[in-house]
Structure 1
Amino acid sequence: MIKQFASGLAFTALLSMSLTSCNQAKEEKKAEEEVHNPASQTIPEESKDLLGRWDLTVDKKGTAVPSWIEIKLSGFATLVGAWVGDSGSNRPISHIKLADGKFSFAIPPQWEGGEGDFVIEGELAGSELKGTITSNTGEKYTFTGVKAPYLVREKAPEWGTPIELFNGKDLTGWKASNDKSQWAVKDGILTNAGAGANLITEQTFNDFKLSFEFRYPEGSNSGVYLRGRYEVQIEDSPKDKHPGTLFFGAIYGFLSPNEMATLGANEWQKFDVTLVGRLVTIVANGKTIISNQEIPGITGGALDSKEGEAGPIYIQGDHGPIEFRKITLTPAK
């Protein structure tokens, strides 16, 4: 009887050890399968040179228009990213396929409307990208791309002498983007009566502080582009709307303000914007709504994708009416 009892205890102990060992093995296997540490990633050889941000130039019926793409590694092998066309906002890419050195992805239309997807196909050509964009209506364009610059500044800027970009009298120092301009100066106020042309400074700038006062009617939409590439959104966004990347005070499609700081339509408002490299700070009506955040790339409607170069200030005038009464820029020395 004692021998049987001892034998039973031994069997139970062995069974317990076996189950413990089995559970440990399962846990170890599970841990191996659930590695979430990006530092442990091994970047696949075939995709490593594609990863990063690219400034694109698209040949659209003989006209060079800007575009942008970011390609990222999700997990161990899946490529995802983001894309900006010559209009609209930053759009997420759920999956970028890569085979035989060529990448491709499909993305649905945004403000373009219509059915079907846009299809982007490309490959590395030395240190550059080249490829095609086929629209959802079947039009096909070619593009080239270069790696986007980091724009890191080694030290804080020293500020120069403020420049009054608007003299309160006329459009001296500005040019319209087309012959449909509705910009005029009335009683010391720079006014855009309705959708027509954008207004662009003749001067170009690198790093700067920009202050401007503006007013818009109900339902209007405009924006101010920094270096002609990054839009600070001006829109009649409802005060009770959650802040977002498409609404008042955003860097359009990329950076969301931390609150909806608009005073509403028909009120004079003020933005104070500081741009150093890619880092932007926006103060709206006395409230800091974006603080020293990196702008990843160009926004839709940019003049070009040459991010490493100086660029103008431009005011969006092809969407709706808007007014300005003071525009002051302080450049970095």
Structure 2
Amino acid sequence: MKKYFLLLALFVAGKGLAQTNANDIIGRWDLTVTMGERIVPSWLEVKLSGMKTLVGYFVAEGGSARPISHITFQNGKLHFSIPPQWDRLDKYMEFDGLLTEGQLKGTIEAPNGNMYAFVGEKAPLLKREKAPEWGKPIDLLAGNALKAWYASGNNSQWSVTGGVLTNAKSGANLITKEKFEDFKLHIEFRYPKGSNSGVYLRGRYEVQVEDNFGKEPSPTYFG
């Protein structure tokens, strides 16, 4: 009597899960961060350095683009930490995200221990099919008034006199009521010695207005 043996082969196909690789996370990401009652924009760029090391830049709700020396990304999980910029504490900021179906979700732990949830989408390519058609100039200080603006808080110190927009002391920011896509912005400004202010484009990217005369050129200074 012949004996027959049945050999069973088990093939494991990754448990049916789609595999993620570095190409899925490389690029620029638009982040929306929930900070209590505020919803603020943020920004992340992931780049490949050499053969396998991921590095990048991160822009929080404030401050400039901060370099990231090392980003880990494995099984869809992303993590990096960066030292404080304007925080008075010495603790690093911790960033953790999970990439699923093209969306990045996770938490940001601030140096003070506060946790903030975020959602990220791949940033679109800002390419126009044709050159913009410019309209008539808009005077944002028409009639020596602030009708085209609203304040970000109740402690606004802004006023207009003789066509000059003046801020008496530190207080709320001014924001245009109208939103713009492509635009050309013309501003003439003057400031007291040693002062620091700025103009935010699209509500996030600041053109620094600071008395930096005589200092070495810096990517975070204006002119």
CA distance in 1, matches of 2:86, 2:198: 17
CA-based RMSD: 1.6
1:244 paired residue number: 218
CA distance in 1, matches of 2:160, 2:20: 58
1:80 paired residue number: 55
1:193 paired residue number: 168
> AA paired with 2:33?
V
TM-score (norm 1): 0.59
Larger Rg: 1
Does the aligned pair in 2 maintain the 1:168–1:189 contact within 8 Å? no
2:158 paired residue number: 183
CA distance in 2, matches of 1:45, 1:73: 15
1:162 counterpart (118, 122, 137): 137
SS in 1 for 2:81: strand
The question of 1:215 aligning with 2:190 is answered: yes
> AA paired with 2:163?
G
SS in 2 for 1:114: coil
2:77 paired residue number: 102
Q: 1:168 to 1:233 in 2, by over 3 A?
A: farther
CA distance in 2, matches of 1:210, 1:237: 22
Q: CA deviation at 1:51?
A: 0.6
Q: CA deviation at 1:227?
A: 2.2
> AA paired with 1:243?
P
Does the aligned pair in 2 maintain the 1:182–1:192 contact within 8 Å? yes
The question of 1:130 aligning with 2:73 is answered: no
1:59 counterpart (27, 31, 34): 34
Q: CA deviation at 1:47?
A: 1.2
CA distance in 2, matches of 1:130, 1:51: 15
> Which aligned runs of 4 or more in structure 1 are off by greater than 4 angstroms?
none
> AA paired with 2:36?
K
Does the aligned pair in 1 maintain the 2:20–2:76 contact within 8 Å? no
Does the aligned pair in 2 maintain the 1:168–1:185 contact within 8 Å? no
SS in 2 for 1:49: helix
Q: CA deviation at 1:168?
A: 4.6
Number of equivalences = 205
Q: CA deviation at 1:138?
A: 1.7
1:261 paired residue number: none
Q: Once structures 1 and 2 are overlaid, which stretch shifts more, 192-201 or 221-230?
A: 221-230
1:133-187: CA deviations, max 9, x gaps? 1122222111110111221112222221111111152111111110000001223
Gaps spanning 5+ residues in structure 1: where? 1-43, 250-333
2:179 paired residue number: 204
> AA paired with 1:175?
Y
CA distance in 2, matches of 1:45, 1:127: 10
1:51-92: CA deviations, max 9, x gaps? 100011111124212111000111111110000111111100
SS in 2 for 1:71: strand
Q: CA deviation at 1:213?
A: 1.2
TM-score (norm 2): 0.87
CA distance in 1, matches of 2:203, 2:90: 31
> AA paired with 1:117?
Y
CA distance in 2, matches of 1:173, 1:54: 31
Q: CA deviation at 1:45?
A: 5.8
Higher helix proportion (structure 1 or 2) = 1
1:264-309: CA deviations, max 9, x gaps? xxxxxxxxxxxxxxxxxxxxxxxxxxxxxxxxxxxxxxxxxxxxxx
SS in 2 for 1:48: helix
SS in 1 for 2:63: coil
1:117 paired residue number: 92
Q: Once structures 1 and 2 are overlaid, which stretch shifts more, 224-233 or 107-116?
A: 224-233
Tell me the percent identity. 56
